[in-house]
Amino acid sequence: MKKRVLSVILSAVLATAMLTACGSGEKVYNVGVCQLVEHPALDAATNGFKDALTEKLGEGNVKFDIQNAQGEQNIAATICNGFVSSNCDLILANATSPLQAAASATSTIPVLGTSVTDYQSALELADWDGTTGRNISGTSDLAPIEEQEAMLKELFPDAKKVGLLFCTAESNSAFQIGKFKAALDNDGIAYVEYGIADSNEIQSVVTAACQECDVLYVPTDNTLANNTESIKSIVIPAGIPVITGEEGMCKGCGVATLSIDYYQLGRATGEMAYEILVNKADITKMEVKYSPEVTKKYNAEICSQLGINVPEGYEVIE
């Protein structure tokens, strides 16, 4: 009888030991997330990334350290250096400045970008074949600029002059403005650039643009996305419509946009992270991915206020 009891106890101990060993051997990944600022597009990308990677790895097998750079490059650098010091398994850089900060902080830890428009200019790469050749890849939020310009022309065929509003400190914005200018040139439409250094200049610059132009275009610019209410307070009384680069900005101050889905963009980035962490994919050879779909959307409230009739083929922004 004693032998039987002892056997049962030993079996239980061995089973517990085996379960403990299995549990302790299961990898828990630590992922640092540096997001430039809080606004709907970047928030959606971060949430999509988290959801996709958690679904792939399973609850409890990944820990996220999400930090906000408050729109400051030096804060982004501090955050990314902290991720390196804590030896994160992977860094998500949400927007261009965090990507640049992460690139400066490490050449070994995998870095995935999202909500980054142009990786070539952000990383100052001489040649571009879709891969960085470094410990960096990710997803781009670049929507077809030529289609955005065509949408502006469709909605405002009589526009004589377009104001191009962007933050000069953001290379991603300058890149989009360059492409939009080329499209306007092809259609023979005049334009004026209105660059702002920071949010303090929005009031004066947007006021000047409204006095000189028939319609404004704002790309996916983080500084302006964070100040859509200020822009709206100027353009609505002036009766000047704004075409924006993404849905969140359009909801704040625009009439229409050709927008990608930032949540899905984040999910695509999370799937890339899984391939790197679990399947050991070589990030140096991973091509930057782009959103497969864009959708024409409009702000019904602002269109109504400005008396703009939107043609068929546009979805209402909820």
What tens digit of pLDDT does each residue of 86-96 get? 999 999 999 99
User: What's residue 294's pLDDT?
Assistant: 87
User: What's residue 5's pLDDT?
Assistant: 42
Q: Are strands 256-259 and 295-298 parallel, antiparallel or unpaired?
A: antiparallel
Q: In the structure encoding, which two tokens stand for residue 105, read together?
A: 């902080």
Residue-wise pLDDT tens digits, 193-247: 999 999 999 999 999 999 999 999 999 998 999 999 999 999 999 999 999 999 9
Per DSSP, what are the bridge partners of residue 167? Answer: 196
DSSP the chain: -HHHHHHHHHHHHHHHHHHHHHHHTS--EEEEEEESS--HHHHHHHHHHHHHHHHHH-TTSEEEEEEE-TT-HHHHHHHHHHHHHTT-SEEEEESHHHHHHHHHH-SSS-EEEEEES-HHHHTT-S--SS--SSSEEEEE----HHHHHHHHHHH-TT--EEEEEEETT-HHHHHHHHHHHHHHHHHT-EEEEEEESSGGGHHHHHHHHHHH-SEEEE-S-HHHHTTHHHHHHHHHHHT--EEESSHHHHHHH-SEEEE--HHHHHHHHHHHHHHHHTS---GGGPPPEE-S--EEEE-HHHHHHHTPPPPTT-EEP-
User: What's residue 25's pLDDT?
Assistant: 56
User: What's residue 20's pLDDT?
Assistant: 38
Mean pLDDT (the chain) is 91
Residue-wise pLDDT tens digits, 57-83: 999 999 999 999 999 999 999 999 999
Residue-wise pLDDT tens digits, 128-167: 999 999 999 999 998 889 999 999 999 999 999 999 999 9
**212-215 long-range Cβ contacts below 8 angstroms, 24+ apart:** 212/161, 212/163, 213/161, 213/162, 213/163, 213/240, 214/156, 214/158, 214/159, 214/160, 214/161, 214/162, 214/240, 215/152, 215/156, 215/159, 215/162, 215/163, 215/240, 215/241, 215/242, 215/243
Residue with the larger pLDDT of the pair 25 and 283: 283
- In Å, what is the CA distance from 31 to each residue of 20, 116, 135, 236, 277? 24, 19, 15, 42, 10
Domains within the chain, CATH numbers bracketed = 29-141+261-287 (3.40.50.2300), 145-259+295-316 (3.40.50.2300)
Q: What is the mean pLDDT of residues 248-271?
A: 94
